[in-house]
Structure formats: structure tokens, C-alpha cells
Chain A
Amino acid sequence: MRKLLFESVFRRPLTERAPLPDDAAVAELATALGKAARRRLGRSLSIREVDAGSCNGCELEIHALNNAYYDVERFGLRFVASPRHADVLMVTGPVTKNMREALERTYHATPNPKWVVAVGDCARNGGCFAGSYAVVGGVSEVVPVDLHIPGCPPAPTAMLQGLLALFERADAGAVTS
């Protein structure tokens, strides 16, 4: 273990430069975010991930956000264990009817101010599962959504762009206040 740790002292870090925030996401957020965000939160966001019926593809890529290449924590973005610790709910999946109540309760357990980010094509409108007897549809049918990050699943870079857009709008809100 010492050797591995020693090597990493000298090796160049694998972490990559941050992508630019996604323009479309910035535009979507312009209407969604109030001025209070930046002031209240500083430059950190705690994220509670909720799988509301996904195939687990989105979760795999959300996991990847924590690896050395993307390293989301350097932006102050952090995945937390409880909705009570969270500022952002990151929701995936075409909300299944069996998960609807759990999602609602998780949303209500999250303190204000809070934002909901719907990740993946299914979370937008049910994707290829839309119309099933067991599926509600997009996340916005159940809880208000502030930002959609499309993809099946979105690549980690796309998610990072969306989350950085969330920051950027929060910053802009602070400037105008």
C-alpha cells in the first residue's frame, strides 16, 4: 500500500479540467432558481440521489462522478446519505408507481431551499417505459423539477455540466441581489 501511495505523490493527477456549464441547463435554471441560493449555500451543494425506478444505468454514471477523473467533490458537490442533509435531490428513472410515495416522502424530508435535478431520459418523460401500467412518467409528475439532464444515461461530463450550471445560476442570483 505504501508503494501505491508513494507513486501517487509523484504521478500527475488523473482529474480532468472542469467542463463549461451546459448552456441549455443554464437557461432552464434561470427561471427556476431564486436569489437566495448562493447566499444561503455558499459554494457547496449536498446531493441526495434517489432512484425512482431507473434501470441502474444512470446510477452507474453518477457513481463515476466520484472517480478520480471527474472528482465532483472539488466543486463542493457531495453525495450525502440522508435527504435531511441535502440541498439537491438527484432523481433517476421513470417514477414507478411503487416508488411514487417514497419519492414524495424523500422530497418532503429535504429542507428548503432545495432543488430537484432529474437525470436521464426516463426521468424527463418516462422514456421507453412511458405508458406502462406500472409507471407514473417523468419526475415532474410527482415533484417539481428544476433541471433536466438528458441522456441514456448521461455521460458523467454531461452531468457535471448540468450541476455546474446550477452553481452558475446560483452565483448570478447572488450578484443581482
Chain B
Amino acid sequence: MPSLIDLTLEGRKVGQHRPWPRVVVDASVWTFAATELAHGRWSLLGLWGEPATVHMAIMDGQAAEIAVVSLDCPDRSFPSVGKHHPPALRLERTIHDLFGLSAEGAPDTRPWLDHNRWGVRFPLGDRIDALPKATPYGLLVAEGDGLHQIPVGPVHAGIIEPGHFRFTASGETVVRLEQRLGYVHKGIDGLMSGASLERGVHLAGRTSGDSTVAYAYAFSRAAEAALDLAVPDRAVLLRALLAELERLANHLGDIGAICNDASFALMHAHCGVLRESVLRAAGAAFGHRLMRDVIVPGGVSRDIGADGVQTIRAALDNIRLRFPALVELYDNTASLQDRTVDTGVLKPPLARQYAAGGYIGRASGRSFDARRALVYPPYDRLRFDVPTLNEGDVNARVWIRVREVEQSLSLIEQILRRLPNGPTRTEVPLGGAVREGMAVVEGFRGDVLVWLRLRNGLIERCHMRDPSWFQWPLLEAVIENNIVADFPLCNKSFNCSYSGHDL
């Protein structure tokens, strides 16, 4: 069995790429990598384009090694990865929409983010005029006696992001769900090109609102990797503090919201109060409830004072006091368990194939957590467990969140105890002519990947990959054979990002 090192020896190594290697390979090595992905020996971390190049980030889960392979596409096409490894399909459709590079042999060539509304095609490649008339999107068909379709969205009934879901149902049972996303595509990749690092991190923090810390964190770490820049120790710990507060707030909100979708409003009300206490503490300590624009390349832009530490401690004490009763309530309410147990089951092999991150993967036997597997500081000196379950149902995804709330409480306590004095930010140098960097950070919903290339200190190209890319298709799979009324439960227990995905 080849290792990733062998693969990187096959290509021409790119000098200024940190911390993992990037190699330019030929089409045969590219296809070999795709088939190895298909055999499950490696996991696909990302697949993105440039005007005449495609890049693929691959991880060897056993060794926690990562490599980026790149393929030049002078004739504007590249051998399809999705043909062998379905998790790549939507990424390839996106590469075509944005850059005009086609995946040769891909089984699905429909547009993905491009709804023919931009007035231009291939906006980040060789732009051409939009099609004169929008052709209807070819939804997949399901045929059979008594099947009916239920179209939902893009504007939904709740306060959630826009996307279209097309259910095909037989009576109450869903036989197929197809998603149509891209409604919140803002062209962030395009806005990043030519931007300063300051604007870059500002945009990164607005890619997915609930993961604003995780994105700013990953972006900053990628920029620092490119520039070979070390961050002061106080900032290193403060960043983890911010990330854990974000995880805590989101998990608390999610646990309540999942129960609410099973019509159990009491949990929602109590979890909402706990979530609010985290946001208020964050607002008092860092000046912004969602902790936006705090993490920046070089460190953090705001330090925390003694009263900030005090406020956070008080919020934690309150959660420690109240949360166990809520967990008990969840565990002991049969009517609630009846809805969550055995609903929306994601089988472990599928989670592994899609390299599903976060609570989705961990509820289906995939224990990957970037904080543990890729050990970035300060997590190398903090004690925490990565909870894993195998059931893969809505209930398991709730329990993973419950356990992660407990872990985050402990992590925050450890961070506050260890917080050293000292500076919180270091000067960011312009760097050499061309520098490339990459980072993977564990957000609350999974691993956020940021890859960027700097030229004379400005961003030439930045690609951000939300964990949702590999989680959305799994939602299509788990809903099968469940009843329509359980879709909100399945959906909420996944809580995939629309904005982070559509970018």
C-alpha cells in the first residue's frame, strides 16, 4: 500500500507551501490518487480550482499526514475524481461553475452554484457571457406507483438559511431527497483575490456566521503558516478559548433546537437560556457576542481583562449547575427518545467514505477531530476526550454534542487556568514574493480547511472548505426510508451550513 509520502515523490514539489507538502503531478498520478481515495485508503480533504490548475488535498487518516496534489489543466479539463470517488462530485461541479475547468468523465455535469443569474459564466476563470436563457435545473427522477414530490424552499418556514429540497415520497415515507444549493453564493473566493490579509480575515469571519471564530482561526493559521510566523503564547490560548466558547454556544443551541423539532419546547427554552449566557459572557469579555473579528493573522485583536475572565467563569458555573438536569430530562423523556432513536441513521462506512467531520462523523464511528489528529497548539497541552458513538442516529448526534459541551467546559477551565501574561499580537511581515499556507481547524461542525497563496503580502488566491461539503450529501442518504415529518429532526441534527457551503 503506497503512503502519501510515495505519492508526493511522484511529483514536482512546490517550494513555499507550508506546513504540508504540495506537489505538481501528471494526470496518471492524479487519477491514481483518485482511485486510492475510492478504495478508502485516504480521505478527501478538499478539491478546488484556479484559472488553469486544480488542487486536491488528501489525508492519510492513520498517519495524520496531509498532502496537496496539483494538476495543470492547459486544455481546461482534468480527469474526474468524482467518477471514482463520489464525495468529489459537487466540488468538481463548483470548479466548473467558477473556473470553467471540466472534470472529464464525471457522472454529473450539472451546474451547482451557478443558477445562471450572475450575468457571467466562469467568473473566476476566463469569463464569458451568461447563457441567454436559464435552462431548468434537471432534478433527478424517481418513478413508481403513487410517488409524489414535495418541493421545499429556498424560502423555508423557519428562520433558517435558503436552499431547495425536493422530496419524493411514497405516502409518508421519503424515497429520495435531492438538495439544490447555491442560493447564498456571495462569490467570497473572488472577493479574496487581491485582498489584503486584513480584509481577508474580515471576509473569512463572514463565511458562516456560526463559525466566525473557526474561519478566522483557520484563515489566520493558514496565513501564519505561509509566512512562517509564530504567535505569542497568550494569543494561542485565547484563540482556543474563543473556539471553545463558540463550540459551547452552538452545541447548546443545537441540542435545544433538535428537541424543539420533536415538539419538545421545554428543552429549547432552557438550552436557549444557557446559550444566551455564553454569548453574553463572550460579549462582555471580547466586545462581540459572536466573537467576530477577534482572531487576526499574528494573534488576537482584543485581549481579555480580569473581569472578562470572571464573567466567563460565572457563565460556566451556571451551565455546570443547570446542564446536567437538562441532559437527564433528555435521557428520561420517552416521547422525545421515540423521535430521535433510530431516526436518520448514517452508517459508519458512508461516514468514512465522505470523511464526515464533526459530530456527524463522530456519531457514526469516525473519531477524526482536527484538534486531536493534527494537534495544533494549544490543544497539544490540554486534556480532552473525543467522544465517539457508532449508532449514527439523531440520538447519537445529540449525545456527541452533550459530551462535547462537557469537554469544552473542561477545556475552557484549563485555558483560563493556564493563560499566561504577555503580548497578544505580533507584527505580520509582508513575506517573500510567493508564499502558500494551509490550515485545518476544528470548528463546532467539523474541520474547516483554508488554503491560500500570498504574493507580496496580498492574497492571490484563497480557498475555504466548509465541513458541510461532505455532510450535505450524507443528509440525502440518511433521510431515505424515514417519514417526511422526521426530516426537520434529521436536518437539525446535521445542522449543515448553507453560507459556508455556498460561499
Residues of chain A touching chain B, judged by Cβ–Cβ distance below 8 Å, are: 1, 3-5, 14, 49-64, 66-69, 79, 81-83, 93-94, 96-102, 106, 127-129, 131-135, 152-153, 155
Contact B209 A134 (CB under 8 A): no
Bound Cα distance from A83 to B156, whole angstroms = 10
Q: 5 A-B residue contacts at CB 8 Å?
A: A4-B270, A51-B160, A63-B159, A67-B276, A99-B183
Q: Are A57 and B182 in contact (CB under 8 A)?
A: no
B29: Cβ under 8 A from any A Cβ: no
Residue numbers of B with Cβ under 8 A of A are 113, 115, 117-120, 123, 154-155, 157-162, 182-188, 190-191, 199, 202-203, 206-210, 212, 253, 266, 269-270, 272-273, 275-276, 279, 283, 289-290, 292, 325, 329, 333, 497-499
Chain B CB count within 10 A is highest, among A14, A82, A96, A132, for A96
Which residues of B sit under 8 angstroms from A54, Cβ to Cβ?
A: 161, 184, 209, 499
Contact status A129-B187, CB under 8 Å? yes
Chain A residues with CB under 8 A of B186: 53, 94, 96, 129, 132, 134-135
Known A-B contacts A56-B497, A96-B185; the reply to A129 vs B209 at CB < 8 A is no
**Are the C-beta atoms of A128 and B185 separated by less than 8 Å?**
no
* Chain A residues positioned under 8 Å from B272 (CB to CB): 64, 66-68
Contacts of A53 in B (CB 8 A): 162, 183-184, 186, 499
Pairwise interchain contact B209-A56, C-beta atoms closer than 8 A: yes
CA A90 to CA B168, docked complex, whole Å: 31
Given A96-B186, A129-B188, A133-B190, 17 further pairs, Cβ under 8 A:
A1-B329, A54-B161, A56-B209, A56-B498, A64-B279, A66-B272, A68-B272, A68-B276, A83-B155, A98-B113, A98-B183, A99-B184, A100-B117, A102-B183, A128-B191, A131-B191, A132-B190
> Known: A14-B273, A69-B273, A106-B155. Contact between A128 and B206, CB under 8 A?
yes
B154–A99 touching, CB < 8 Å: yes
The CA of A94 and the CA of B207, in the complex, are separated in Å by 13
Instruction: Give the complex CA separation of A129 and B189 in angstroms.
Output: 11
Q: Does A133 lie within 8 Å of B187, measured CB to CB?
A: yes
- Report if A98-B182 is in contact (Cβ < 8 Å); known contacts: A14-B273, A128-B202: yes
